[in-house]
Amino acid sequence: MATGEFELIDNYFTHRLPERDDVIIGIGDDGAVLDVPAGFQLVVVTDTLVENVHFDRQTSARALGHKAVAVNLSDLAAMGAEPTWISLALTLPHSDDEWLNSFSHGLREICDYFNCQLVGGDTTRGPLTITVTAHGVVPKGKAIQRRGAKPGDWLYVSHSLGDAGLALASQKHQVNISSEHFRQVSERLHFPTPRVALGQALRDVASSAIDISDGLLADLGHILRASQVGAVISLEEIPLSLAMTESVSQEQALRYALTSGDDYELCFTVSEDQRGVFDTKLATLGCKPVCIGRITGQAEKIELKLAGEPWQFELPQTGYQHFREPLEAS
Ligand SMILES: [Mg+2]
């Protein structure tokens, strides 16, 4: 990309962003120099959005700016980390003033909200691709991992599931929903809320955690594999939005909740011993995670129950594009 264009793009990102005291050298040098507070560890995550893979041409630039950051902050939340800095690698087919204005607006809004500073970046010419690397800090030894779940632990999700999948299906005309419901679920697809405060509250409380990016079954599967445990899920406990329950049958709603991607909610486990502490912490947070089941000793097996009865579940052959994990559903 010509120098003039790079400078143009650079202008969108070097101004009007939060400025943190721990950024010693930010954008403008060959690298950023950052202070990690004493007693903390650095957590680094990265995620890429590619046009026609993760989003289509109709997706607004503002939504992409938001989502490129949100999906990374969601990973930090799952680790119990506090977001601090991000860097951005942006590949654009051409320099488009209006697009960049809107994209940087979306990016800035979420960075402002979570006090996360952009400290570096790169722009190149090519098919539209957005890579964000996010950094966060966590007190030494307190990062939450996938591997700590134990039989008997309670299984939680942070919020209602499946809305993003319903939005995508509606966008593809696979399902008919009202325009108001479409507006609501589209908001969740394009502007996901990373559960950053909850993630930090789960340090010392959750025995394992993951963020749900590829569907509950697939992501819970990662916890079960890492922890060598199983899970039983009471399907009627899975939180569903009103937009979901008013738009599709219970069976279809559960399919979205279990297998569609892009929810960016947290899935985590809490031991019986920690449950009281957890409830107390939650009271101050203003969010209400829902207990949907329990961890079992049967390694990597997920049992789905509806009103106490085993639920027969066949995987959709043409499911969400990210849905590639083999399942252990029985
Ligand atoms: Mg993740």
Q: What CATH number did the domain enclosing 220 receive?
A: 3.90.650.10
Residue 107 lies in a domain: yes
Q: Looking at the structure, do residues 119 and 72 belong to the same domain, yes or no?
A: yes
Q: Looking at the structure, do residues 167 and 80 belong to the same domain, yes or no?
A: no
State the pairing for strand pair 230-234/302-306: parallel
Q: Who surrounds ion ligand 1 at CB < 5 A?
A: 75, 211
CB atoms under 10 Å from CB of 89, counted, come to 16
36/14 Cα distance (integer angstroms):
22
Is 163 flagged in the annotation as binding?
Answer: no
Q: Looking at the structure, do residues 48 and 164 belong to the same domain, yes or no?
A: no
Q: Are the beta carbons of 186 and 226 closer than 8 angstroms?
A: no
Q: Is the pLDDT of residue 330 over 50?
A: no
> Rounded to the nearest 5°, which phi and psi values hold at 256?
-60, -45
Q: Is the pLDDT of residue 93 over 80?
A: yes
**What CATH number is attached to the domain comprising 104?**
3.30.1330.10
Q: How far is the CA of 65 from the centre of ligand 1 (A)?
A: 18
Is 146 flagged in the annotation as binding?
Answer: yes
CB atoms under 10 Å from CB of 143, counted, come to 18
Q: Is the pLDDT of residue 327 over 50?
A: no
Structure tokens at 276: 């009281």
Structure confidence at residue 317 (pLDDT): 44
> Rounded to the nearest 5°, which phi and psi values hold at 29?
-115, -175
Q: How far is the CA of 223 from the centre of ligand 1 (A)?
A: 11
Secondary element (H or E) of residue 121: strand 117-125
Q: Could you list the residue range(s) of the whole structural domain that residue 103 is in?
A: 3-139
**pLDDT tens for each residue of 138-190:** 999 999 999 999 999 999 999 999 999 999 999 999 999 999 999 999 999 99
Residue 330 lies in a domain: no
The average pLDDT across 121-143 equals 95
Q: Looking at the structure, do residues 123 and 168 belong to the same domain, yes or no?
A: no
Residue 149 lies in a domain: no
Q: Looking at the structure, do residues 76 and 13 belong to the same domain, yes or no?
A: yes
Query: What share of the chain has pLDDT > 90, as a percent?
Result: 79
Is 204 flagged in the annotation as binding?
Answer: no
Q: Give the angle subtended at the CA of 195 by the CAs of 190 and 200, to the nearest 5°.
A: 155
Q: How far is the CA of 202 from the centre of ligand 1 (A)?
A: 16
Average pLDDT of the chain? 91
Q: Looking at the structure, do residues 162 and 34 belong to the same domain, yes or no?
A: no
Q: How far is the CA of 209 from the centre of ligand 1 (A)?
A: 10
183/67 Cα distance (integer angstroms):
17
Domain boundary among 74, 105, 139: 139
Q: How far is the CA of 75 from the centre of ligand 1 (A)?
A: 5
Q: Looking at the structure, do residues 41 and 71 belong to the same domain, yes or no?
A: yes
Residue 39 lies in a domain: yes
Q: How far is the CA of 216 from the centre of ligand 1 (A)?
A: 12
The average pLDDT across 27-48 equals 94
The average pLDDT across 11-25 equals 80
Structure confidence at residue 121 (pLDDT): 86
Quote the number of domains for the chain. Answer: 2
Q: Looking at the structure, do residues 298 and 158 belong to the same domain, yes or no?
A: yes
Phi-psi region at 141: left, alpha or beta (left = phi > 0; alpha = psi -120 to 50):
left
Strand partners, 231: 295, 302
163-171 and 179-190 helices, crossing angle to 10°: 120
Q: Looking at the structure, do residues 301 and 172 belong to the same domain, yes or no?
A: yes
Q: Are the beta carbons of 89 and 131 closer than 8 angstroms?
A: yes
58/120 Cα distance (integer angstroms):
28
Is 213 flagged in the annotation as binding?
Answer: yes
Q: Looking at the structure, do residues 161 and 109 belong to the same domain, yes or no?
A: no
Q: Is the pLDDT of residue 195 over 60?
A: yes
Q: How far is the CA of 45 from the centre of ligand 1 (A)?
A: 9
Q: Looking at the structure, do residues 103 and 165 belong to the same domain, yes or no?
A: no
Q: How far is the CA of 145 from the centre of ligand 1 (A)?
A: 11
Q: Looking at the structure, do residues 201 and 128 belong to the same domain, yes or no?
A: no
Is 214 flagged in the annotation as binding?
Answer: yes
* 159-173, 231-245, 300-314: the lowest-pLDDT one: 300-314
Q: How far is the CA of 144 from the centre of ligand 1 (A)?
A: 12
Q: How far is the CA of 3 from the centre of ligand 1 (A)?
A: 35
